[in-house]
Amino acid sequence: MGDQKDTLTVTDNRTGQTYELPIEDGAIRSMDLRQIKVSDDDFGLLAYDPAFKNTANVRSEITYIDGDAGILRYRGYPIEQLAGSSTFLEVAYLLIHGELPTQEDYDRWVFDITHHTFIHENIKKFIDGFHHDAHPMGILVSSVGALSTFYPEAKGIDDPDTRQQQIIRLIAKFPTLAAFAYRHSIGMKYAYPDNDLSFAGNFLNMMWKTTELKYEPDPVLERAMDVLLILHADHEQNCSTTTMRTIGSSDADPYSAAAGATAALYGPKHGGANEAVLRMLEEIGTADQVPEYVEKAKNGEFRLMGFGHRVYKNYDPRATIVRDLAHEVFEVTGKNALLDIAVELENIALEDEYFAERKLYPNVDFYSGIIYQAMGFPTSMFPVLFAMGRIPGWLAHWQENLLDEEQAIVRPRQLFVGAGERDYAPVEDRG
């Protein structure tokens, strides 16, 4: 073992030639495959990987996931510790800067974000231009992108101070845009930010304030909102984060990149999972119906939503946190009948060998939708809440990508399988 080399020996059976490829951090470089050719004019071997299921295109220090062991860490800190002891803004600082802040740094960070929550009045007019029943996520995508026109200096991405300013603005203004999108969609007057409230409390204020002079968020719901944002703050190279990095690789400003990432999250396969869980629980109807639906699922007649994950092959560590959080929220909001169904479904599924063999465990979406519903959020706001939590993770990856000297503008290869050269024929001669 002492003589073991960190290399991969590959024999090309087309030519009989052998190649030795270095292995670093458990990976080979795809560019090393280019030396494998059948002739001098051969382009070289490519790796074909639809949906990038087994391709790493970045080196990242931000988030670590061990799907088999059910581990999630931000900058080395277990998600359980952060959700139990930290705040969303402290976690945002950690993701962006790489270390937890000192008290002085944290106070300055909170002050700066708190005092950048207001948006230009013209953005309100922009939002007013949407149809009265426009989806809040569609409004959010557009208004986040529109911020780039209000802050043209954001294009100076090579200046650290300019980058920091835009990062603060995006984290600060995202909840305002999210809440305004909701208020517009239901025809309510906008509620302005309140600098006396916490990040989560201020968002609840902008969502729910009506005629009261001062909105006072329930501390349990305020903390629940903060924890849910922490749980969604980053999740490695998912679809929207990859989109953020890809757009950023062209040196686009962060507002444009964040709009693209938000659009990626708009897709139901990414940002709509917790809504799908709610629809499933409503279809099941009552807890005593759960065994019947479990059998249907095992027979391929029904799909259980909120079970299994592309990354986790063990219990999603966020699911345990959000399950406990659900019970705390319902102490304030009152019991939701869907919770009984969810608990029964989880208990039966976890004891069934069918699910254990297939490593189908509850994920974070299994309980988060129930909590959001209990807090009064409509399902149309679920992906908006997801995006609001994810923005610091997106920005951390955007900045990391900019500072990585190995990175360049993203430009994947393709395997062309279309027609060969053909001669054009006038329309009258086409069969």
State residue 27 phi and psi, 5-degree precision. -145, 155
- Dig out the tokens for 161 from the structure: 């101070």
State residue 297 phi and psi, 5-degree precision. -65, -40
Based on the residue annotation, tell me whether 42 is a catalytic residue of this protein: no
- 95 close to 393: Cβ distance less than 8 angstroms: yes
Q: Give residue 364's Cα distance to chain centre.
A: 12
Q: Which of 253, 309, 316, 397 is catalytic?
A: 309
3-state SS class at 18? strand
Pairing of strands 17-22, 7-12: antiparallel
Q: Which is nearest to 346 in space by CA: 332, 362, 330? A: 362
- Dig out the tokens for 160 from the structure: 């650290």
- 89 close to 110: Cβ distance less than 8 angstroms: yes
Q: Which of 32, 270, 340, 352 is catalytic?
A: 270
Query: Alpha-carbon distance 192 to 190, whole Å?
Result: 6
Query: Alpha-carbon distance 401 to 40, whole Å?
Result: 34
Longest dimension (CA), the chain: 80
Q: Which is nearest to 365 in space by CA: 391, 386, 387? A: 386
Based on the residue annotation, tell me whether 161 is a catalytic residue of this protein: no
- Dig out the tokens for 68 from the structure: 């088999």
Based on the residue annotation, tell me whether 184 is a catalytic residue of this protein: no
Query: In which order are the strands placed within the sheet that holds 63-66?
Result: 63-66, 71-74, 77-78
Q: Which of 226, 253, 316, 365 is catalytic?
A: 365
CA quadruple 172, 175, 180, 185: dihedral sign: positive
Query: Alpha-carbon distance 110 to 113, whole Å?
Result: 5
- Dig out the tokens for 214 from the structure: 């001062």
- Dig out the tokens for 217 from the structure: 């968020």
Query: Alpha-carbon distance 199 to 49, whole Å?
Result: 41
Supply the residues annotated as catalytic.
Answer: 270, 309, 365
